[in-house]
Amino acid sequence: MPPLNPEDPSTGSAASRAEEARQALLARIGNFVETHDLAVTASNLAAICGGLSGSHPELAQAFAAREIAGEPIDQRWLDTLGRLDPDNHSRIAELEALMDKLEYSLMRFAQTARSAQSETSDHRGALGARIEAMAEIELDSAAAGDLAQVLDLSRTMLARIEQVESAMARSQAETERLRENLAKARLEADVDHLTGLPNRRAFERRLVSAAIEARAKGEKLSLGFCDVDRFKLINDNHGHEAGDRVLCAVAATLNEHAGDACFVARHGGEEFVLLFYGMDKQAARAKLDAIRLAQAARRLMNRDTGQPFGRVTFSGGVAEVTEDSDTRSALGRADAALYRAKQEGRNRVMVG
């Protein structure tokens, strides 16, 4: 086959078509983001690109079905797609397993280094004492010369052992620092740095462990989503920094009123998620509704302008995890309940 000629019109045409397709896809993605008023985030762009390019058929079908039904493609719905994605959940589990293996390997190395250092130190001390004792022995000149060579070699070996021991001590200290840094990184990776609450990653792990424990003990477990009502208007009217302070205030209300029987996390954007230990869906709904009332009673003011935010409320959706063998199905039911709460007027909690 003859080599491709860059000046060949057919070659140029193929390259031109590829470039046109790329530009068209970028334009479609941009129009999609603007049309549906979505945030420009890595996760959003990945989902939109997957759906519009056809590289992710399931997403493409979900987008098409949503548009045909005339239902909104908003941030809440995109977040729902993300949390119902089993592949994403398995990737998180794989990452956790890898980090556990790394932490175990570091621990074993530190233990081995400590043991080797201790044994080396003991042998070095015993060998040093023996060398000095042998140096005191009186021998004839020929034997004394041979012994002196042995003692010199022994002292050289002893010095080398001491150097190895120091290197092992440094390796042990470095390993301990790595373990501490890994533990710190894992802790920081579980925290939402705006609100100080656990984040979505931490919630995903807690949901799995809590569901396993609840089923083993025959106890109830429920979860609830809550989403700040008309949060976009707060950002539009008061600015994003003020919006962030509103999210912190809502997070504080949730954390303050949830109690020890609840796990509260920020799920992303203006959405929070709660786990209700030992509660069926009706008890969980009552608990979340009490928190909703507490939040609605607060009067928040923009400290920069002195202007009130008005009443900041949230809508909620609750589902029972333990009424279905599929733990993650509760996420879909709670999300559907949250959607109904929004549709029926906001500032309410529905059960899924």
Amino acid at 254: L
Query: What phi and psi, each to the nearest 5 degrees, are found at residue 6?
Result: -60, -20
Handedness of CA 96, 98, 101, 106 (dihedral sign): negative
Give yes or no: 270 in active site.
yes
Residue at token pair 């909104």: 72
CA atoms of 295 and 43, how far apart (whole Å): 30
Amino acid at 332: G
Closest by CA position to 76, among listed 36, 111, 42, 45: 36
Q: Which of 270, 271, 323, 344 is catalytic?
A: 270
Closest by CA position to 199, among listed 249, 254, 267, 250: 267
Instruction: Provide Rg for the chain, Cα atoms.
Output: 32
Task: Give the pair of three-digit tokens for residue 329.
Answer: 């199905």
Element (H, E) at 315: strand 314-320
Amino acid at 24: A
Element (H, E) at 309: strand 308-310
CA atoms of 299 and 282, how far apart (whole Å): 28
Q: How far apart are the first and last CA of the chain?
A: 64
Task: Give the pair of three-digit tokens for residue 189.
Answer: 């990776």
Enumerate the active-site residues. Answer: 270
